[in-house]
Every structure is written in structure tokens, then in C-alpha cells.
Structure 1
Amino acid sequence: MSSPHQSLQRTEAVARRALLEVQEYDVRLDLAADDHTFGSVTTIRFHSAGGPTWVDLKPISVHEVRLNGSAVDVDLLDRGRLPIHTVAGDNELVVDAVMPFRNDGEGLHRSLDPADGQSYVYGMMFMDAAPSVFACFDQPDLKAPYTLHVRAPESWTVVANAPGSSPEPGQWEFERSQPLSTYFVTLVAGPYHVISEEHDGIPLGLLSRASIAGALDADADELFTMTKQCFDEFHRLFGIRYPFGKYDQAFVPEFNAGAMENPGCVTFRDPLVFTSRVTRGMRIQRATTVAHEMAHQWFGNLVTPQWWDDLWLNESFAEYMGNRVTADVTEYSDAWVENAYARRQWGLVADMAPTTHPVAGNGAVDASAALQDFDGISYAKGSSVLKQLNASLGDDVFLAGVVDHFTRHRFGNATMHDLFGSWERAGAADLSSFTDNWLRTAGADTLVLDREAGVVRRTPPAAHPADRSHTFRVSVATDGAWDTRSITVTGPETPFEVDGDAVVLDPYEDTWALVRPDAETVTQLKTLLPDVKDEALRAGIWNNVRSAFHDVAIAPADVVDLVVASPPVESTEDTNRRLGAWLLRDVVPLAPAGSLERIHVAALTKMAALPAGSEFQLSGFRMAIATATDPAELRGWLAATPDGIDLDLDLRWRILVRLAGLGATDSQELLAALDAEPTAVSRVQHMRALVALPTEEAKAHAWSVFTGDLDVPNYELEAAGVGMWRGGQEELTEPYVARYFDELPATVAVRSGWVLADATTFFFPLTSLSEDTLARARGLAADESLDPAVRRRLADEADELSRRLAIRATYPLS
């Protein structure tokens, strides 16, 4: 089943760009009309060479459309496109429509805060959601300035890309913005709590929901300090001042991504306002996200990709600069270590999948195809490659090329060729070989030590061979002492004298490759790992182990032994990219009986050995909760937590979710917990716990979310899917395996864009480790009538499942 909207083809975008020059947008939005829809009147002034084209529009209804004063037949609107016939010269198009508030994190998302019953709105126009807010020519290379006028309830505050004011209650007028691509336009509206400061002539703002105002106040000093430090460093590096006037950072509810770099009004997911105690890892993640979005103000906003297949330039550059600047000028000098835990495997797993793609020049034929490449390759791999390029060129040439790029294309659009031309003008040699091998060829080389032969072997992926040279550091342990040396690997075999007990290739991520430890190193690490004090080396060791597991080259039992020897409490945040979640989701189900209990004891032992109140103690406690199998122990923690740990809302729900998975609570207790503290966090965690219960009713409830019979916001959609599939509950979930494949195609009728693809992943039958499930997944992924985003996610999930099955076959438990 295909999407109800047409995806913009690249050929169409090129033709429309040749026809039109957009001069300005004037957008009037009435957000006070009702809770479900809003009025949208768009005036577009543009120059045309003359001839037919279309305007992008995804309304609930249309009052009137007039082109140059003449009515346009609105019945011609088809799948988000309204045909118009322009005249040569200046044109004016006026579209008066009613648009939908959405709850999927796109367009104008409207959210009801359960803590106080107040509504909040924010705009997310990426990648093709703008036409559900205002009529537009929706492609990145038709930039224009915007003037917004917004009517809102009188108690609301409204901010947008440009500075604004409220001349009368409920009415907001905004200055004309700098030229923006449609996907950068935003507004944030509601009874937001606002904190204001100024730095170096730049007005700064922080916004959050009123119910978490206290948490934002507590974090404001850190957030403002980081923002100021990053502005100073970006100004020093680029010599080009921030070009968009004021800089608001709005923490908004139910945001799909980590953040969005809208010029002048960056939006973040509001769990980044910490209402419960968090680990240092989460604070670093927030800091690097702040710096990442600030880097975008130059790379992405000041100069924007001409077409979506250069989106990697936005994200790779911001990923590299965000981590670099965070490490260099903020209190989080260990940002690169955190990046190793959080991002490295995300990129490597994507690069090893059958859906891998080049970093650059993907040839995305349409916007939907480009969106599917918005992944760990575009972020983590691209960042790694740029970091390698910087090391090769040197900072002077690298930055000089970037500044030349910004200067030549200021407020315009550019391509990868433009950027590489700037680097070559700045003094780089011919970069074509680098581009071909690292950016235009998909896949990662595999690097392994052949201890017996005394060589490091490089194996390019068979489907994507490339002539890559790798220069990286190697850490060698001899009698418990670690030494670091360098190696350059150029051919299939490179001599490397092995004179140590453990050898860890590329622990500091100097190159991009799939790196696996040899068997002797794995054995030695069971003794050595607890004493490794170099945090970057520890992260590198774990990435080596994770890559080997993904590549079916290390036994689950060995991974568990390493965990028990030295529990990886450095990375327990709630995402599948982190070590804690990876262990529970991927490793433990394939490991010998008793592994979960061994990890639990190790976590408790580690926690007890850590200073009370330390961040690692908190991480250890999280791991202990997630691995607990005794309800009485969990109930004991609800009554009294270990010294140094307070039972805050986050920990209370972690315990309740675990009790639910064990069948040691019920829906009444969970509802009582929600009613006792009805926050946005509680609402999501209540869903996660409710569907984790080992009952038919719980699984049916989750399934009603998947099918769309029960309409919930995006965060609850994720909680329902992730919470549903629990190990040990296969008897209850087995009927839903076939239903997943039968009913997935129809979900295109109830959701679109970001969450359509995400729901495919969230509800995939993760616990059904069978060849039949794999065959069903591969078969449906091959169905060309299926939505491309769904097919892509299915193919990735099938690859993951095939690897789990291969691990089980290679390392049988008996």
C-alpha cells in the first residue's frame, strides 16, 4: 500500500527550481480557533519563467486559492499537490486553508501535558511536513524569507525563527526572517516557561513546559554556559558571526529526533530537561546535541544542501564539530568517549546491513528515499570520515575550506562538489580518490589480527570493494600494562609483530572499519578489563566486542563473561545504541541459562564498590533493576533504595516496568502510580509497563496502538511496541508474529513519515527467533508495493534477525 502523498522526485525539483525564484512568504496562522485544526493563510510572492507547476499543500480543507487575483480550482488538489499555471514575471499566490494539528511529531504537533492539562504546540517541518502547516514550494533549494503572524490563546507565548513581539493579547508579529528552506521554518507556542539571557550581542532563550519549569531553572546555568562557550568557539573557528539574530532553544514535548536546527529557534526533545537524576552520559549527550545544533547554524542553515542526497554534509559536519567543540571548550572533555559508546555501533551496524549506502552521492531519487538514508551512516560514519580528513589536511586547510564554502554560498545552497572544491582551493591535494573510496563507496572494511601469522588482515566488503588505507593506533597489553603504537594498513595483509597478551585494534577510532578482537585477546580481556582505567580504551574494547558479536565472531557466553568481569555501567542510557540495552536485547537471549542472574550479581557487586552518590553507582543500579528476577528484591527497592540513590520518578517507573515484565504487578497498581504523579514521563512509562504485563489483555492493548485503533502520541507508540515483545512471554506474543506481517502494510493509512518507519521497527517481533519469521520478514521486505520506508526498516530488522539466528547456530547452548 503506497503513501497518500507524492514524494518529490529529484527531476521534478530540478525543473521547478529552474522555473521559480521565490521572493518571500507571508504566513498567517490562527492557533486559537480550536484544539484539532488551525487556520493557515499563505501569501507567496515569486518570480517565474512562466508555465505550469504546483504548490505543495496538505490541508484538512481549503477555503480559497487565488493566483494573481484569479481563483484556482481547489478540486485539482491531488495527493498534496495543487497545480497552478504561472505567468512570466512576478506572481502572487494566496492559499487560505484549514490545517491539522498532529500528534506524530511532524507539522504542527499539539500535545496535552497530563501534569496540568495545558496544551503545547511546536513546528517540525523536516523533511516534507511543511505543507501541512502552510502552502509552499517544498524543496530545500527554493529558499525565501518568511514573515509570520500568529493568533494564539492569550495565555500563550509564541516564538519563531525571527524575533517577534505581541502588540496585543493573543496576537504575535514576527520580523522578516533570513532566507530559509521550507524545512527550517518553525514556531513554538503555548504557556511555555521562558528564561532569557544575552551573550556577545545575541539574545538567548530557553523554553520548556510550565510543569518542568523547575528542572529547566536548575539546568539553565549549564545550558547557557555551554551555549556561550560554543558560540565563542564557532566564532573563533569560522570567523563568521552567527547570522540569524536571536537564539532560542525550546525543549518541546513528544519530539521525534534529538533536536532540530531551525535557525533562531532550535527545538529539542524535552526529556533533555532532566526531571530525574541522570548519568554523566546523558549530560554529555545533551551537551553534544546543543553543540551539534549550533554547528548547523553555519553548516545546513547558512549554507543548505541543494538536494537531500547531500543531507549527510549537514549531519556529518555537525556531528564532527559538535563533539569536537564540546570536548574542546565545555566541561565535558570526555565527549569523544561518550560518542564512542553512543554512536559508533549505530553507524557500523547500518554500514554492515544489506541496506547500506554511500555516505555521499546516494542518488536519492526522491525525498522519501533520502529520508531512509538519515541514519548512522550519515551521522557516525560521515563524522568519522570528516575527522579523518581533518587529520589528513590539517586544521588550517580544513577550516579555510569550510570558511570559503560558507562565504561563497552564504544564505544559499551548495553541493558536496562545492565544498570539496573549497578545500582544494584552500590547499588540499586532489581529493577525488578520498571521495571515491570513503564517501562514494558503501560498506566498512574488516580489520582483524591473525596472531599466528603476525599480520593484520584487511577485507573489504565483497559487494562494495574499495582501496582504502587505514592509519590507526593499536593498544597492546603485556603483563597487565598497556602500550599504544601506530600502524598503517594498506593491503590485504600488513605485518604486525604480536608480543603482548591482548591486542586491541583502533580503540581510539582513528579510522572507520569493523574491528574484531582475536580469540586470545578475548580470553585475556576477562582478566585485564577490570583494571583498564583509560575510558577511551574501555569504550574501544567494548566496540570491538560488539562488532564481533554482530559479525557472529564471538560467543554470547564470552560476552557475558566480560560483562561479569567488568560490568559496563558506563553506558546504560535507554537506547538500543547503548551497552546496557544491547546486552539485554541481543546478548542475553542467546547466552547460556543463568546469564541474566550472573549479570545481576555483577551489577550489584559493582554498585556496592562504587562511591555512594556517584554517577556509576546510579548506572549500576539501573542495570541491577533491568536484570532482577526476584520481585521481592524489586519491591524492597521501592521501599528503600541503596544509600546514595533516591527513588525518583525515573527509578520508580524502571522498577514498575520490570515488575510488569515479571508478572509481579497488575494494571490497577500501574494506574495508581500514573494517577499519583501524572506527568508526561509517567504517561509513557505507564504504557511501557502496561503492555509488558504477561496477559492477553496487555498484548491486545499494545496491538490496538500498532493498528491505529488506539491513537496515541509518538512516545507512547514507541513504548507500546518496545514494551510488548518480552522474552519469556512468547506464548502470549506468538499470535502477533503473523499478524505483524499481515497488518503492517495497512499502517500507512494511519501514520506517515517518521513514525510510519519507526512503528515498523518498534513492533517488529524481536523475540520470535525462527527461520519462519525471518522468511516472512524477507518476503514482505521484497514487496515493491509496500511503502519504501517500511521496506527499508523491514530489511534491516530481517538482517538483525538473521544474525541472531546465525549466532545461535554457531554457538549452540548445549
Structure 2
Amino acid sequence: MNSPSQSLQRAEAVARHECLAVHDYDLRLDLASDEKTFGSVTTIRFGSRGGETFLDLKPVRVNEIRLNGEVVDPDLLERGRLPIHTVAGDNELVVDAVMPFRNDGEGLHRSTDPADGRSYVYGMMFMDAAPSVFACFDQPDLKAPYTLHVLAPADWTVVANAPGKCVETGLGSSALWEFERSQPLSTYFVTVVAGPYHLISDHHDGIPLGLSVRASMAGALDADADELFTMTKQCFDEFHRLFGIRYPFGNYHQAFVPEFNAGAMENPGCVTFRDPLVFTSRVTRGMRIQRATTLAHEMAHQWFGNIVTPQWWDDLWLNESFAEYMGNRVTADVTEYADAWVDNAYARRQWGLNADQRPSTHPVAGNGAKDASAALQDFDGISYAKGSSILKQLNTSMGDDVFFAGVIDHFTRHRFGNATMHDLFESWERAGAGDLSSFTTNWLRTAGPDRIVVDRAAGVIRRTPPADHPADRSHSFRIAVATDAGWSTESVTLDGSETPYELDGRTVVLDPYEDTWAVLEADPVSADRLEALLPAIEDPALRAGVWNNVRSAFHNVALSPGDVIDLVVASAPVESTEDGKRRLGTWLLGDVLPLAPEGSLERVHTAALGKLETTDAGSEHQLSAFRMAISTATDPADLRGWLAVTPGGIDLDLDLRWRVLVRLAALGATDAEELRAALDAEPTGESRVAHMRAAVSLPTAEAKALAWGVFTGKLDVPNYELEAAGLGMWRGGQEELTAPYVDRYFDELPDTVRVRSGWVLADATEFFFPVTSLSETTLDRARLLASDTALDLSVRRRLGDAADDLARKLAIRKAYPTS
């Protein structure tokens, strides 16, 4: 029963949908009896045409299965599937099983908070995880209402998709929670959030609102509750105005849960978020915008995704692209974060563009047609950032009246059902959009971005479509032009391969306001002049556009690492230095500096110190500059000094203390004992993750062995610590220590499928890739293994993408040697 399960094939889903109509699920979960497993009794009532089909189930063990009163042999269960013989008409299936609590962020995840030893549970059913919680027909187009009954420890609170309450407490150390029958849901939307969570309640426009977080973070949630509730209310008002359809799922609870893999999950009535979005330390405005847009993104899903759900995973992009577009738009329009689109330019643009230029690129639409596992691989920057950009373009061309009339028609026709992209585009055409077939073909069904550059010698702007994916795309965008009086904008439409554009020696930035989707690179002349111009640019969107032009040019070997460093020194990019892997700071530290001329790290550190000294005390840019200074410090004495005294306007909170300790560890200026003492002094979940990253960053054989034990599964840790171990292991300057692990990575990676699955299997492939081994031999090994069709599909995809990153770094180093 514990062997790897099968991924649902599209043809199987079609056949099962034609056979079955699910009437409802009744779930009884016992979360109180064991810390490793839980009881799960599922009753499914469904109609059938009769004949053979199968149930999805991934238990620890089965107590009993009955179909229409007759016992079904549990030994028939193989690789997560139970064959059943249905009768024509109504059927009832009852499965009594014991299920596993998990620590990988999927299924029913159980976590113990190191701050107080209390345990928390939440459900994440996305993509093949639901059968590890309850027996089901696990595909998005077999929707049904759910009724939940949850037995939990008496001191726990339980929240689910529908309103509920504790109905019985006289059960010893347990209590029984009963929930109302939900609206029809796909299996991947079902959730339960249970534990001694700290809850805050409010209401708006007839909708009960709730927030929750683990008890040790109660003070932080209390501090943020007013902002979170205010944004929630503002977004509800705007979505009701735009859609004309009221939120239909009863309560709206937002649960911030530990060790969550994604940013959030849009479960109707009970949205789950990663709890680092409740801020226990000071953060920049960028992180607050990220939280705001995430909140609005999940609210958009309540309509697009939850009221109407994709029929199959090949339209998953539409869920995410729509929510990405609406989340940013609504945040910018109605909350205090009017600069949401600027932050999106820093945080998301290059994520999508880089994904779109890889060998693994794919069309925005129509992916995952074969099976669910294939669809999961395309859950990436193309589905989010590119799809959102294209919907934004479509809205601009249609206008709001037609755009939202079509969306409302779509919601109305398919309410609480399933639909396809074709259905949505038919609704837009009915609303007056005209024939969208050409748009669909060129923008949504053809992979890869066009490359648009300035050719100064020829006096043209030139478009080059991707060689393997030619498309007939028209681009309309603005160009920012430097003048003696500042910056002005000019509009350009590029219908063919090129259009005349005389620069007359001017400095330009192509499409700084993201009017189109393309790779737009800073030309060498403009890039050289930006060093003098960038510090004076006050328009935040234009600054973001400059950095995206620069990043694209660097990515495509059209700009040297030294040129990038010169720009950083001229105007340290403190607008976007959060730790997210798509941000400027992470790109600078991980991609640019390892290839930059000797002394570049010290130059960037000096620039950060300069920004720190000249920025207003207490400002977010001061905090960003301080973070950059920590990350680039090479003198342990400076770091030790900051542990004692921080610059005025900055308090040494938990986040900053661990940043300093991680940097000290990477420099070999601390030891395991000091790091352990820091963890023991404040043993929070945040500390535990940071401690892992610091511990494996030490330049010792023991530190690297610790990290490797996490990779191989010898040391079982939760998902956030898995990520920290991978990110801390490969440190520049420690190549002698890590060299033996380069070959071991490729030798042992295939067997990691035995110790993890799903989301974290792919993540571990990426986190532990030997990023500091910049050699053709490493690239050859990566490409060879990624070509092995016997390798797990998600591992192959992440490995292939990592190989592409490495190939680009090697190309940059070859083009711009530093010695």
C-alpha cells in the first residue's frame, strides 16, 4: 500500500467522469487518537452507469471497505487505486482507513511548534494529495458537496470549508466538531485546519471573517489583524463590484499555517497561507505588498477557480493567470498598496521570462493534457507571470465592459461546475470581443517570448520570435527616453519583424511599464549611460523597468557581470532585496557576483554601507540596505559589531540576528555551539529554519554531511528545513569541501523518490543542485541525467532547468572572463 501511486491519466479521468456523478461526501476524521496517523471514514454517495471504475486511496492501512453494503477486499488496492464494480443507478461506498499525518506540506500536514511544543494540522489536497486524507474520486470535474465531522483534542479549534462549531465536549480529552454541508467542491479544495490556533473574528457585508495563526505568533497576528481585515474588506467590495456575483461560500477564514509549501491555497471558505506572512520581525514594504497581492490573488480564486473550476489540469494556467492579474490589479486599485504593479515587476517578471526561455518552455494554455503529474510541472512562471501579462493585454484591448461581461457570463453559465478555456473565450466573444482565435494561437498556444532589441546602426526596433516557436505577434508598448529635462515616453507598435526608430544618440528603456510580454534588453549604449542616470530616476516603475532590461540582457549574455556591478555601485537596488529567489537581491548574490570581477563583493558591500548611511533612519530602504550589507560582509568583526550595536533606526530583531549568524557561519566565523545556543535562546519555527541554514553553511565536513543527510532522507526534517539545508550547503569559497558531493548529487538524486514525493521531491532537486560547481563536466552530468526518461518527471524538469541556469552562467563567464 505504500508503493508510489499512479498519476491520473487524462483518458482515465474522461472515462470516469462519463461513468460517475458524485452526489456528496461525508467525512469523519479522528485527529485525536495518534500523533502519527489519523482515522478517516469516508462515505461517498454517487450515481453510476454501472460497471468497472476505481477509487483513489493512499492509506497506512484499511480497516474496512463496503460498496453497497458488500465488503470489498482491501488487498485489491494497488499503487493508490482500488478497482470497484458499480451498479447502474445510486451507489454508496464507505471506506474506513487509517491515514498518515505528513510533514512535507501535503495531505494532512502535522507540525509541532518548537516555541511551545504544541501541534498543528492543516490540509493541502492539491494535485494527488487528497487520497492520503480521504477516499475519493480525485479529479477536478467530479465536484460534490462535503459534510465534515472532526474529532479533535479538546483544546483545539477546527476550521473547514463550510461553517461549523464544536457540538460535544464530554468526550474525555477530545471534542467533536460538526460542519455544514459545503457547496460543490473539487477534491483538491477540501481542507481542515485544526489545532490550538489563535483566532480573531470580524465581519463585513454579511460575511463572517476570520484569521488564525499558531499560538506562539498570536501577538504578531494581533498587530497585523487590522491591516489584513481592512484589505480583505476592500477586496470583497471590489470583487463584488467587478463581478456582480456575491461570494457564495459562507465564512471567509484566512489561516496562516506552518511549513506551507506554496504562498497560499484558495480553499473555498478557508484559505491557507504560509505563516511567515504574519510578520514576527520587521519587513520591507515589498514584503507587505507581496502579502497583500497574495491575499487578493486567493480572493480572486473564490470566483475564478472555486465557483467555476477547470475541467482538467490543462486549464490550471487560467486559474492562476486570472488570479495573478486580478490580485495585482485589485491590490493596486483599492488598497494602500497602489504600487503593487511595481513590486510585481521586480518579483515576478523575470521568473516568467526566464521560464519562457528555457528548453522546458511550454505554451501558456493546453499543458498537462496527458496526466496530472505532467500538469504539475507546468505550474510555473509561465502559468502565473506570463499568463497574467497576456490577460492584462487582453483586458486593455477589450476594455473593462467587454472583459467583465464575458467573465460574468462564464461564472453564470458554469456556476459550481467545471469549464474550459474554450468556454471562457466563447463568453468573451458573446460579450463583444470579436474573434479571439488568432490571439489564442499566437499568445496562448505558442511557447516562448519574442526578443525585442534596439539596433542603433540600422535605426530600427527589431523583433525576433523564438526559433522553435514562431508566432505572429503584434507588440504595442512605451519607451522611456532620457532627455535633458528628465524622462519622457514614446509609444511604439511593432507589427512585423521591425519598425523604424531613430535614437539620435538617446538613452532608452524598452517597455518599462510592462505593456507587452517579450524579452526586452538594455542595449550596450543605454546600459553604459544608465550608470550615471539611474540614481536620479524617481519613477519607481521606470526603475523597475531599468532593472528588468538589465536582467534580461545579463541573462542572454548581452551585458557583463562587471557592468551590472557598476550599476549596483552607482545605485544600490534596495527596492527589491527580499530573500525570495526571484528578487533582485537574490539574483545579485547568486547569479551576478559569482561571475563578477575580483573585488566586486567588496564594492557592493561598500555601496550598501553608503546607502545605509544616506537613507532616512527607520525607512524600508535603510532596512534593505542593511540586509545587503550583512549578505556581502567579509569582515567578521563588522558582523559581530552589528550583533552588539545596529545602525540608528534599526533594531536587531530575530530575523536580522539570524541573518548575521548565517553570514558568520558562511565565513567560518562561528561554530555549531554558538548556533545551537542561539536556537535554544529563542526556539521558534523561524529560528529552527534559520539554524539549519546556518549550521550547514559552516565550512566544515560535519556541516556538509548534515546537509547531505537531509537530502538523502537519512535525517527526516520538515519541508522548510529541507530548503534551508540545500540553500546553505553550496557556498562560494567552500568548493573544496563540497567537491565530493557534486558527483554524489547526480548518483543519489534518482533514489530520493524513495523518501519524498510531490512538491518537495521537485524542490529538493532544485535546492541541492551544486550551484557553485561552475564546470562543463557538471553541466554534462546534469544534462545526461535529465535526459533519462526513467527519472521521475518532476525531478527531470527541475534538473533540466538547473542545467539551463548553469549553461547560461558558463556562457557569461566565457564571454566576459574576469582574469
Instruction: Normalising by structure 1, report the TM-score.
Output: 0.99
1:383 to 376, 383, 388: 388
Does the alignment pair 1:401 with 2:377? no
Return structure 1 stretches of 4+ with deviation > 2 angstroms.
none
Does the alignment pair 1:175 with 2:180? yes
Structure 1 residue 154: Cα displacement: 0.2
Does the alignment pair 1:489 with 2:494? yes
C-alpha distance in 1 between matches for 2:505 and 2:652: 46
What residue identity is the alignment partner of 1:263?
P
Q: Deviations over 1:20-44 (max 9, x none)?
A: 0000000000000110000000000
Which secondary structure state, in structure 2, belongs to the residue aligned with residue 152 of structure 1?
A: strand
- Match of residue 265 from structure 1: 270
Q: Is the CA contact (8 Å cut-off) linking 2:448 and 2:469 kept in structure 1?
A: yes
- Match of residue 110 from structure 1: 110
1:680 to 685, 695, 698: 685
Mapping for residues 229-308 of structure 1, pairs under 5 Å: 229-308=234-313
- Match of residue 609 from structure 2: 604
Q: Deviations over 1:643-663 (max 9, x none)?
A: 000000000000000000000
Mapping for residues 63-462 of structure 1, pairs under 5 Å: 63-169=63-169, 170-462=175-467
- Match of residue 676 from structure 2: 671
- Match of residue 172 from structure 2: none
C-alpha distance in 1 between matches for 2:763 and 2:370: 22
Which secondary structure state, in structure 1, belongs to the residue aligned with residue 631 of structure 2?
A: helix
C-alpha distance in 2 between matches for 1:390 and 1:240: 20
1:805 to 801, 810, 817: 810
Q: Is the CA contact (8 Å cut-off) linking 2:315 and 2:365 kept in structure 1?
A: yes
Which secondary structure state, in structure 1, belongs to the residue aligned with residue 642 of structure 2?
A: helix
Q: Deviations over 1:310-364 (max 9, x none)?
A: 0011000000000000000000000000000000000000000000000001252
C-alpha distance in 2 between matches for 1:138 and 1:380: 28
What residue identity is the alignment partner of 1:803?
R
Q: Is the CA contact (8 Å cut-off) linking 1:476 and 1:500 kept in structure 2?
A: no
- In structure 2, the CA distance between the partners of 1:363 and 1:207, relative to structure 1 (3 Å rule), is closer
C-alpha distance in 1 between matches for 2:249 and 2:162: 8
Q: Is the CA contact (8 Å cut-off) linking 1:3 and 1:748 kept in structure 2?
A: no
C-alpha distance in 2 between matches for 1:67 and 1:246: 34
C-alpha distance in 1 between matches for 2:68 and 2:37: 27
C-alpha distance in 2 between matches for 1:311 and 1:362: 8
Structure 1 residue 607: Cα displacement: 1.2
- Match of residue 25 from structure 2: 25
Structure 1 residue 481: Cα displacement: 1.6
Which secondary structure state, in structure 2, belongs to the residue aligned with residue 732 of structure 1?
A: helix
- Match of residue 57 from structure 2: 57
Structure 1 residue 734: Cα displacement: 0.6
Instruction: Normalising by structure 2, report the TM-score.
Output: 0.99
Which secondary structure state, in structure 1, belongs to the residue aligned with residue 739 of structure 2?
A: helix
Structure 1 residue 502: Cα displacement: 1.2
Q: Is the CA contact (8 Å cut-off) linking 1:7 and 1:367 kept in structure 2?
A: yes
Q: Deviations over 1:660-711 (max 9, x none)?
A: 0000000000000000000000000000000000000000000000000000
- Match of residue 474 from structure 2: 469
Aligned length: 813
Structure 1 residue 492: Cα displacement: 1.3
C-alpha distance in 2 between matches for 1:678 and 1:364: 46
- Match of residue 7 from structure 1: 7
Structure 1 residue 518: Cα displacement: 0.7
C-alpha distance in 2 between matches for 1:770 and 1:433: 44
Q: Is the CA contact (8 Å cut-off) linking 2:108 and 2:121 kept in structure 1?
A: yes
Structure 1 residue 478: Cα displacement: 2.2
What residue identity is the alignment partner of 2:54?
W
C-alpha distance in 2 between matches for 1:807 and 1:691: 29
Q: Is the CA contact (8 Å cut-off) linking 2:40 and 2:99 kept in structure 1?
A: yes
C-alpha distance in 1 between matches for 2:324 and 2:777: 39
Q: Deviations over 1:420-463 (max 9, x none)?
A: 00000000110000000000000000000011211001000001
Structure 1 residue 533: Cα displacement: 0.3
Which secondary structure state, in structure 1, belongs to the residue aligned with residue 261 of structure 2?
A: coil
Which secondary structure state, in structure 2, belongs to the residue aligned with residue 710 of structure 1?
A: coil
- Match of residue 544 from structure 1: 549
Q: Is the CA contact (8 Å cut-off) linking 1:480 and 1:528 kept in structure 2?
A: no
C-alpha distance in 1 between matches for 2:734 and 2:804: 23
- Match of residue 700 from structure 2: 695
Which secondary structure state, in structure 2, belongs to the residue aligned with residue 276 of structure 1?
A: coil
- Match of residue 789 from structure 1: 794
What residue identity is the alignment partner of 1:223?
L
C-alpha distance in 2 between matches for 1:128 and 1:327: 35
Structure 1 residue 407: Cα displacement: 0.2
Q: Deviations over 1:620-644 (max 9, x none)?
A: 0000000000000000000000000
What residue identity is the alignment partner of 2:289?
I
- Match of residue 622 from structure 1: 627
Q: Is the CA contact (8 Å cut-off) linking 1:327 and 1:335 kept in structure 2?
A: yes
Q: Is the CA contact (8 Å cut-off) linking 2:746 and 2:782 kept in structure 1?
A: yes
Q: Deviations over 1:46-96 (max 9, x none)?
A: 000000011000000000000000011100100000110000000000000
- Match of residue 754 from structure 1: 759
Structure 1 residue 302: Cα displacement: 0.2
C-alpha distance in 1 between matches for 2:456 and 2:272: 50
C-alpha distance in 2 between matches for 1:384 and 1:265: 28
What residue identity is the alignment partner of 1:746?
D
- Match of residue 511 from structure 1: 516
Structure 1 residue 500: Cα displacement: 5.0
Structure 1 residue 480: Cα displacement: 6.1
Structure 1 residue 497: Cα displacement: 1.8
Structure 1 residue 479: Cα displacement: 3.0
Q: Deviations over 1:559-612 (max 9, x none)?
A: 000000000000111111000010000000000000000000001101111100
C-alpha distance in 1 between matches for 2:60 and 2:3: 17
Q: Deviations over 1:451-489 (max 9, x none)?
A: 121100100000101000000000010236211010001
Q: Is the CA contact (8 Å cut-off) linking 1:504 and 1:541 kept in structure 2?
A: yes
- Match of residue 664 from structure 2: 659
C-alpha distance in 1 between matches for 2:105 and 2:730: 24
C-alpha distance in 2 between matches for 1:390 and 1:55: 42
Q: Is the CA contact (8 Å cut-off) linking 2:368 and 2:374 kept in structure 1?
A: no
C-alpha distance in 2 between matches for 1:481 and 1:220: 42
C-alpha distance in 2 between matches for 1:89 and 1:351: 48
C-alpha distance in 1 between matches for 2:54 and 2:555: 47
Which secondary structure state, in structure 2, belongs to the residue aligned with residue 448 of structure 1?
A: strand
What residue identity is the alignment partner of 2:24?
E
C-alpha distance in 1 between matches for 2:70 and 2:432: 55
TM-align CA RMSD: 0.8
What residue identity is the alignment partner of 1:628?
A
Does the alignment pair 1:526 with 2:531? yes
- Match of residue 44 from structure 2: 44
Q: Is the CA contact (8 Å cut-off) linking 2:313 and 2:368 kept in structure 1?
A: no
Q: Deviations over 1:520-558 (max 9, x none)?
A: 001100000000000000001101111111111100000
C-alpha distance in 2 between matches for 1:350 and 1:66: 47
